[in-house]
Structure 1
Amino acid sequence: MKLWGGRFAKDTDALTDHFNSSISFDARLYKQDILGSIAHVMMLGKQNIIKEEEAVTIKEGLLSLLQDIEEGYVEFNVKAEDIHMNIETLLIHRIGDVAKKMHTGRSRNDQVALDMRLYVMEEILAIKDMLHHLMSVITDIANEHTETIMPGYTHLQRAQPITFAHHLMAYFEMFKRDYKKLEFTYEMTSSLPLGSGALATTTYPLDRQAVADALGFKEVCANSIDGVSDRDFCIDLLSNLSTMMMHLSRFSEEIILWSSHEFHFIELDDAYSTGSSIMPQKKNPDIAELVRGKCGRVYGDLIGLLSTMKSLPLAYNKDMQEDKERTFDAIDTIKMCLPIFTAMLQTMTVCKEAMYKAASGGFTNATDAADYLVKKGLAFRDAHEVIGKLVLHCVTHSTDLENLSLEAYKAIHPIFEEDIYEAIRLTTCVNERRVKGGPSKEAVLDHLKAAHAFLEQSK
């Protein structure tokens, strides 16, 4: 007989049991379910809703059950439907009828909302740690490459010279935003739903704040209907993780490009590359490709949960059981991607010469040549046209701005002097960009200093 079976004249069909059951995936919530139940029953005892000695007996039984689950001695039963009913059924078998008092003043509706919030809060902390490590690795690599010149790109065409450090720190900023979003989502999740009941609280004199304090929640859900209906915290987390995966995917795309023979900006470590079953020369960036591919998977988890929630009337509906697999999958995916991506990044070799050579081609210093003319008194639009003509001349004659003779410069415009060559040197182009947020060594070192301060205060 099921714990809710009093109203029913016969057992549910086996197909119904299988279809209705969530224990195959919500079993991972056992710890949160037990800890939530302990806080609940201890509050029931203090409020004289049940006897204090009964609360202690239930607590001890739950702690013993928790230990046995973690040591692999417990097997869950699909007929008990979910983790909540499994825990309660197992506890009744262990300590007898006193365990039946554990569910006083609560519903599975507020119980599952509690378990999911506890789980999400715990996983946010774990993901933040992984993200913090990735950001630390980025700053470590950037520190080594404040003078490593490479081309910056727009439209995947060489645009202006920058440093590898400057490029890497763009990703640091992306991940810093991800980190801050996780902090905000944690704060929004830290609201206790337990005590909301099925939707309308209870007539028992519960002390919800005591339970919130015991479980580490910042506050209590202010509306019982919202308490059991809300899955915004899951959606917020999946949104955060989707953006984070997008950032990892963009970074992976560049790793894939940079490691190709055409770029050869980096060399991936053998430990984070794979080969071909037919082509013996191949060294494939499969880790980066898989991270890029898994981005779409996390997007799917977000869209799936949004689609589930979009038409649900208040309060709880069984559709909301679909929140778990989506949330679990997205969390599992990001926790798999972050460590291996970080290790791949940390072990790669940077090919400085190839980067510099690429920056030397493609007229990446053309803007600086135009700025040179502006500083000589030309309007920028006129300077732009002059340099455009010079670039066309270079393309036609298979040369570049650095190797063009001063006579050729003056043939286009007499304002050019010998100092043009210093103005368009790549190191000059980079280090004259001292504006806050720019690629000069001075500006990047300032950025790194702020980044280290952020990482230090975020520990």
Structure 2
Amino acid sequence: RSRNDQVVTDLRLYAKRICRELMLFIATLQEAFARRAQQNRATVMPGYTHGQRAQVVSLAHHLLAYVEMLQRDVGRLEDVHDRCDVLPLGSGALAGTTLPLDRRAVAEELSFASISANSLDAVSDRDFVVELTAACALIMVHLSRFAEEVVLWTSSEYNFAELPDSHATGSSLMPQKKNPDVLELVRGRTARTIADLSAVLILLKGLPLAYNRDLQEDKTALFDAVDTTMTSLAAVTDVVRVLRFKRREMREAASDPGLLATDVAEYLVVRGMPFRAAHQLVGAAVRRTVDEGRTLRDISAAEWREMTELAQDDIVDLFDVDTALRRRELPGAPGPRMVSRQLVRAATLVAKTRRVVTVLARQPVAAKEVGAAVGTAATAGREPARRSPRREKSKG
């Protein structure tokens, strides 16, 4: 017997289970985002590019963007699970064995989809460790993006949201401070998972076939990435559930007439003006209002007609933010009907993920138990209990 194929088998079993647990954690977070989106379908806010107000969107549409982001993470974890689902047991130290083993029977017993095709590759392959660590790193990047937004939104400068006292900390010096430490830690720990990914890649880059003791060190990075990602997913889920959005302040920011400049240009395009000309005309109008201390909303229909005969009296109706949202009804857009579709899609994705996890586990009862553990952990902010594979002993 050899520890070389035993340890990598154990590691693959662990990685498969972690993929499923992470998928359930993500589904729980997606569900939280969708629930808050449902509650904020009518909440308008600015969308941003380059850190500047750009166009009007809804808070629901903004939150549902994270559902899509996380769904790509689910897809990556499914892919990682598939590549973990190969049994290396029977490869021995590196050259198999002369014993008449039934590897396919063992694969079935251990719930592996297939057996490895090359014993040298089987005992030295840690691609799946790289992929799982990479999946964790990208999940953390997505969580970090949300964390950064909430840090900004809870600042006095944005004032779009507020964390409850239970999810913020004070200052040892400044009595007025309310710091979003949980989210700052998620943002900071993202660097750790990226470092874990770099560590595994650097570890593997110079290894000849087949097994080398260097491979013992892949566990440190993998376990850290997994632990960090699971606790961060649970923490962010909790934040999403309790974060208080300031609808009035968001609407006030979204009411900036400049956010509807593109709508004016498109209004003119629909009436026959080439877009470049429309862009230039509206840009000139914006500069004029800035010089005069006015806004686009202050320009009368008569003034618009002086600029172009294509303008009608209804051009001034463009500056209502709710109407502006209702005009955006292309698939994937932030219009109310499209957001309704996106909410249905979010619920479908969550249900599908949970079904997929049950199928991948090949043990429906166990999958339900994992789901319950994940739900409890997401609520309490801690990860479900699990055993890690043992570290290798000495083997040549």
Q: TM-score range by the shorter chain?
A: 0.7 to 0.9
- After TM superposition, the score normalised by the length of structure 1 is 0.75
The percentage of counterpart residues that share the same residue type is 43
Q: Any idea what the Cα deviations from partners look like across 1:81-138, whole Å, max 9, x if unmatched?
A: xxxxxxxxxxxxxxxxxxxxxxxxx201111101111111121221111111000001
Aligned to 2:258: 363
Secondary structure, counterpart of 1:205 in structure 2: coil
Distance 2:257 2:174 in 1: 33
User: Partners of 1:289 and 1:191 in 2: how far apart?
Assistant: 38
Q: Secondary structure at the match of 1:365?
A: helix
* Cα deviations by residue, 1:360-408 (Å, 9 ceiling, x for unpaired): 1260000001111112221111111111111111111222122223343
SS, match of residue 419 in structure 1: helix
Match in the other structure for 2:393: none
- Kept in 2, the 8 Å contact 1:389–1:412? The answer is no
Rounded to whole Å, the distance in 2 between the matches of 1:110 and 1:375 is: 66
Structure-2 residue corresponding to 1:276: 171
Give the equivalent residue in structure 2 for 1:423.
Answer: 318
Does the residue aligned with 1:421 lie in a helix, a strand or coil?
helix
Write the mapping of 1:379-418 to structure 2, written as runs, cut at 5 A: 379-418=274-313
* Contact 1:159–1:362, Cα closer than 8 Å, also in 2: no
- The alignment partner of 2:313 has SS state of coil
| SS of residue matched to 1:162 | strand
Q: Distance in 2 between matches of 1:228 and 1:114?
A: 9
Amino acid of the residue matched to residue 391 of structure 1? V
Offset of residue 413 of structure 1: 2.9
- Say which SS state the counterpart of residue 119 (structure 1) adopts: helix
Whether the aligned pair in 2 keeps the contact of 1:234 and 1:327 (CA below 8 Å) is: yes
1:264 partnered with 2:159: yes
Cα separation, 1, equivalents of 2:286 and 2:331: 29
Residue 342 of structure 1 aligns with which residue?
237
Q: CA contact under 8 A between 2:152 and 2:158: conserved in structure 1?
A: yes
SS in 1 for 2:11: helix
Instruction: Supply the distance in 2 between the matched residues of 1:315 and 1:285 (Cα, whole angstroms).
Output: 48
State the number of aligned residues: 354
Indicate the SS of the match to 1:345: helix
Corresponding residue for residue 122 of structure 1? 17
Segments of 5+ residues of structure 1 without an aligned counterpart are 1-105
In structure 2, what is the Cα distance between the partners aligned to 1:390 and 1:244?
A: 43
User: Would you say 1:317 and 2:200 are equivalent positions?
Assistant: no
Q: Which residue of 1 is the match for residue 55 of structure 2? A: 160
Q: Identify the structure with bigger relative contact order (alpha carbons < 8 Å, sequence gap 6+).
A: 2
Q: 1: distance between equivalents of 2:13 and 2:144?
A: 29
* Structure 1 counterpart of 2:109: 214
Structure 1 or 2, whichever has the larger Rg, is 1
Q: What SS does structure 1 have at the residue aligned with 2:55?
A: strand
- Structure 1 distance, partners of 2:316, 2:160, is 26
Q: CA deviation at 1:274?
A: 0.9
Map residues 165-314 of structure 1 onto 2, 5 A cutoff. Answer: 165-314=60-209
Match of 1:446 among 314, 326, 341: 341
Q: Give the counterpart letter for 1:162 in structure 2.
A: V
Please give the secondary structure, in 1, of the residue aligned with 2:298: coil
Three-state SS of the structure 2 residue aligned to 1:299 is helix
Partners of 2:257 and 2:296 within 8 A in 1:
no
1: CA distance between counterparts of 2:255 and 2:284? Answer: 19
Structure 1: distance between partners of 2:124 and 2:60: 46
Deviation per CA, 1:401-442, whole angstroms, max 9, x where unpaired? 222233433343343222012123211221111110001011
Q: 5+ residue gaps in structure 2? A: 355-396
Range that drifts further, 358-367 or 433-442: 358-367
Contact 1:269 1:344 in 2 (8 A): no
Counterparts of 1:362 and 1:236, CA distance in 2: 46
Q: Residue 32 of structure 2: SS of its match in structure 1?
A: helix
Change beyond 3 A, Cα 1:301–1:362:
farther
Amino acid at match of 1:124: C
Q: Distance in 2 between matches of 1:265 and 1:398?
A: 26
CA RMSD of aligned residues (A): 1.2
